[in-house]
Every structure is written in C-alpha cells, then in structure tokens.
Amino acid sequence: MIVMKFGGTSVGSSDSIEKVKEIILNENRDRIVVLSAFSGVTNLLVTINQQYESNDSTIQETIIQLEERCLAVIDPLLKTTEYLKLAKQFVSIKIDQIKDVIKQPFSLENTKIIIGQGELISTNIVQLYLEEKGINSKLIGALDFMRKDVSGEPDSAYISSKINPILEQETKNIYITQGFICKDYDSSFSNLERGGSDYTASLIGAAIKASEIQIWTDIDGMHNNDPRYVENTFSLEEISFDEAAELAYFGAKILHPQSLIPAKNNNIPVLLKNTFDPYKKGTLIKNNTKTSGVSSIAAKDKITTIKIKSYRMLLAYGFLKRVFEVFEVYKTPIDMITTSEVAVSLTIDNNQFIKEIVEDLQKFGAVEVETNLSIVCVAGDFSEKKEGLSARVFNALKHIPIRMISYGGSNYNISLLVKTADKINALNSLNTALFKKQLSEIDVD
Ligand code: ADP
Ligand code: ASP
Ligand code: MG
C-alpha cells in the first residue's frame, strides 16, 4: 500500500480535483489518499477564529466568504443534481457548526475545531465526487486513528493500532482521509500545526508500513533554493532524508518540518511530485543517496537571538545545563547555539515566553535580545573530504553581515544567521556562487 498526499492547491479548484482523480486512478497499488483543505480555506478559518476571539462583527462576512469559496469548487465539480445537493448540504452543515461554535465563549478547543473544518469539507466533497464518477473509494475519518500523546507528540503506537483494523474491515483499493487534523490524548479536537498534512501522510505511511509516500503539490519537487525568492531554481532528482529534513526544518515550505521523521525511521521513500505536471520526475527522498557538494538552500524567518554574558561561565561546568533548563521549563526549542568563554548565544523561533525566559536568564548575567533575523541553511555534503566548500559559502556572503554560524553539528549543513532584511540577498548570492555550473546545464525557459 502507498500513501498519496495532495496539498491545498491540488484540491483548490474543480479542475485540479479532476487532475487529482486522474493521478489516483493512474496508480495501481492500493492507496490511502490524504487531502488538505481547499487552498485558502484554512487561512479563512484562522481569520474566523481571530474574529471570534476579538468579538469582531465582520466574522459573519468571513463566514460567507468561506461558504462561497467552497461552493466555487463544488458547483463545477459535481455534475448530477443529486450529488450537487449532497455536497451543498454537507457544506451548509459545516457552516452551521461553525456558527454554533462561535456562539460559545472563546476557548482553545473551539479554535482547533474551527481550524480543522477545512479538511473535513475537502475530503467529503472529493469522496462524493469519486462516488459520482463510480469510483469505489472509502472515506475514513482521521479523528478515528490520528492522536497525540500526553507530551503533544503523535502517538505512533496508537495510530498503528487503530488504522490497521480499519483498513482490514473492508478491502478497498482507494481510501480517502483528512490531513492535518487529529485528536489530543484526552480525545479533544486538535491538529498537527500549519502545513501538517505532510506529517499526517508520513505518520500513516509509518503506521501501515507503506512502500512509498507521495507528496503531490504545485511544484516539481524540492528545488535547490527557495523559488519564492530566487529565480531559475531547479528540481533535485534525489536527496537524502537528513538533508531534506534539515531543509524542511529550516524553511523549505514544500515539507512540514517534522514530516520526514516517521518516513526516515521506517525507511519509506518519499516522492515529491507536481499535480499540475505529473510526468515530471519530481524529487525522491530516501536513505543512502550520493550527494556531492551543496544540494539546496533554505531560509527560516522570525528568528530571535538571546545572548547571555556571564563571567560565571568562565571555567564553570553545569552553566549551560542551567541555561537549557530555562528553555525546557517554557517548552521553547533552541535552533542554533554558539558559545565563547564568557557568553552563549542561541536562537529560538517561538517568542511566546520570551519575557519569562529573559527574566529567568537574567539571574545568570546580562541578557541581550535581537529580533527580525533569519537562518539560512545550506544543505549538502560538508564532510571533511569536501575541503573548500565552506569557503565558497562564506565567500558568497562576504558583503552580508553574518550574526551567527553553526557548522559541524552534522555533516549535512551549515546554518548562518542574517538579518531578515538581508535574507533574499543572501539566498541569491549563494545561488550564484554555489549553483552556477548546474544552472548552465539545465534548460531555463
Ligand atoms: P501544499 O499546499 O501542496 O502543501 P505548500 O505551499 O505547502 O504546498 O508547499 C509548496 C510550495 O513550497 C511551493 O509552491 C514553493 O513556493 C514553496 N517552496 C519553498 N521552498 C521550496 C523548495 N526548496 N523547493 C520547492 N518548493 C519550495
Ligand atoms: N490545511 C492546513 C494548512 O493550511 C494543513 C495543510 O495544508 O497541510 O496549514
Ligand atoms: Mg504544505
């Protein structure tokens, strides 16, 4: 069995859903199809939730926009009056549910219920569409098997113990399910964070021991640089799990940051493909690929640095442990870290508890905070055999102030911290310096 995940743009219109159907039918292995919400729908739901929280009366207009967005997909998609009626009824039930939820006092659980409705709508509509076409698919509810544990991490053992019996109940060749949504350990409605449908696909792949996980999106695989900021990027044919995971974590939006972990742990290849150009090769992510040189560059924004200067650090042991404990208390992950004899600088991407963290750290010494920074991640083979590669990276950035460097933590990347205002310049300069040869070899049209 394989997993096929289709993102928001792939199910964003009647035309693209027809393309998705062709891609599903072109596959002859048994498959679980994981769908995101129609593009733009989760954003509308996030707005509705913000308006709900702030008691904003324009919420009613946003709900109308949401309904219109769904009807714009449904109207041209379903051809028979019977199925069109069923689809419209479903959307109207979901809209009524949202209207009921926002009558209740604001709560985090209601936030999660609202934000998760997009995937429930898209999967039900696509299932109706496939049924109308006489395709024998079955909709299975992600909330019946996707769950997090007490620490907020996906509960792999639970997922596996629930999904496999569901699949054994009835043998179908095509199952449809929701990406993104799940339950918390206490059975309340939850999700895997924005972009989380990729993570769903990988978790399901691991749970059912899939032979392949396919991620279908609006671009032909992982590119060598961020196509939103750099022109003439090109698709990578193959990349290792370790490199792809670094890139996803450090900003390559094509994949949710954690989504490769279950696939890598179970050695399941992940294929990134373009729904709008399905015959293009795409990118294969797997173990043991042979990378030489730099494979790709990504950047992650909204980074904050915290510098703690303390003479108590001089020749002391246990100092870093106490610093890290502060971040543990506030469940705030650290991305980069550098130390000198009297100072330690680290970066975080979540400022929710910054005030509390700084207050606690001030017990150890002087604390400085800097915001609006970006981490630029250069992924590739930086093993000791590749002398000269890091020099090329630094040379490319000689005109850009670098705030922090992380090198040597793994053989797969160098991370550099720059001001966000310098990010696009850094990505483009690195592109020219590191990929000139490859660029001249590809067709750029
Ligand atoms: P989906 O809705 O299918 O999940 P996303 O918008 O989350 O799609 O991810 C695809 C987008 O990721 C692309 O359209 C592209 O703009 C962006 N992207 C950022 N970095 C990269 C990269 N290195 N390679 C490919 N796409 C990237
Ligand atoms: N619909 C969710 C989002 O927009 C999840 C996803 O698309 O992966 O974040
Ligand atoms: Mg995505």
Edge-first strand listing for the sheet containing 404-407: 334-339, 343-348, 294-309, 366-380, 413-419, 404-407
Higher pLDDT, 55 or 295: 55
Q: Confirm or reject: Cβ of 228 under 6 Å from ligand 1.
A: yes
Q: Which residues line ligand 2 (CB under 6 A)?
A: 7-8, 36-37, 42, 118, 179-180, 194-197
Interacting residues of 301 by C-beta distance below 8 A, sequence separation 6+: 251, 374, 420, 423
- Cβ(130)–Cβ(21) below 8 Å: yes
- Ligand 1 centroid, distance to 222 Cα (angstroms): 8
Q: If you take atom 9 of ligand 2, which residue's CA is the nearest one?
A: 194
Q: What is the pLDDT of residue 189?
A: 97
Q: Please, which pLDDT band fits residue 186 given cuts at 50, 70 and 90?
A: very high
Q: What is the pLDDT of residue 438?
A: 54
Q: Please, which pLDDT band fits residue 445 given cuts at 50, 70 and 90?
A: very low
Q: What is the distance between the alpha carbons of residues 224 and 51, in angstroms, rounded to a whole number?
A: 39
CA quadruple 199, 201, 207, 211: dihedral sign: negative
- Residue 108 above 70 pLDDT? yes
Neighbours of ion ligand 3 (CB under 5 A): 7, 195
Q: What is the distance between the alpha carbons of residues 73 and 17, in angstroms, rounded to a whole number?
A: 9
Interacting residues of 270 by C-beta distance below 8 A, sequence separation 6+: 202, 212, 213, 214, 215, 241, 244, 260, 263, 284, 285, 286
For residue 363, give both structure tokens.
């017990």
**Out of 222-236, 347-361, 424-438, least confident range:** 424-438
- Residue 439 above 70 pLDDT? no
- Ligand 1 centroid, distance to 9 Cα (angstroms): 10
| 10 Cα nearest atom in ligand 1 | 3
Residue 45 Ramachandran class (φ > 0 left, ψ -120 to 50 alpha, else beta): alpha
Q: What is the distance between the alpha carbons of residues 80 and 396, in angstroms, rounded to a whole number?
A: 59
Q: Please, which pLDDT band fits residue 298 given cuts at 50, 70 and 90?
A: very high
- Ligand 2 centroid, distance to 404 Cα (angstroms): 32
Ligand of minimum distance to the alpha carbon of 254: 1
- Residue 443 above 50 pLDDT? no
Q: What is the pLDDT of residue 390?
A: 84
DSSP state of 364: T
Identify the residue whose tokens are 């972009």.
Answer: 195
- Residue 23 above 70 pLDDT? yes
- Ligand 1 centroid, distance to 233 Cα (angstroms): 12
- Residue 172 above 80 pLDDT? yes
Interacting residues of 177 by C-beta distance below 8 A, sequence separation 6+: 32, 33, 34, 35, 123, 139, 140, 141, 142, 200, 204
Q: Confirm or reject: Cβ of 256 under 6 Å from ligand 1.
A: no
- Residue 427 above 90 pLDDT? yes
Report the DSSP pairing between strands 189-191 and 238-240. unpaired
- Cβ(365)–Cβ(402) below 8 Å: no
| 196 Cα nearest atom in ligand 2 | 8
For residue 351, give both structure tokens.
């400022």
Please state the pTM of the whole predicted model.
0.93
Phi, psi of 316 (to 5 degrees): -100, 145
Q: Confirm or reject: Cβ of 254 under 6 Å from ligand 1.
A: yes
Distances (CA, A) of 8 to 36, 41, 158, 289: 5, 9, 27, 29
Identify the residue whose tokens are 């990504």.
Answer: 298
- Residue 203 above 70 pLDDT? yes
Q: Give the mean pLDDT of the chain.
A: 94
- Ligand 3 centroid, distance to 9 Cα (angstroms): 9
Could you tell me the domains of the chain? 2-218 (3.40.1160.10), 295-444 (3.30.2130.10)
Ligand of minimum distance to the alpha carbon of 298: 1
- Ligand 2 centroid, distance to 46 Cα (angstroms): 11
- Residue 315 above 80 pLDDT? no
Interacting residues of 192 by C-beta distance below 8 A, sequence separation 6+: 146, 154, 180, 181, 182, 199, 200, 256
- Cβ(63)–Cβ(48) below 8 Å: yes
Q: What number is the average pLDDT over the span 85-97?
A: 98
Identify the residue whose tokens are 């206490």.
Answer: 186
The model's pLDDT over 383-420, given as tens digits with 9 standing for 90+, comes to 766 678 888 899 999 999 999 999 877 778 899 999 99
- Ligand 3 centroid, distance to 7 Cα (angstroms): 6
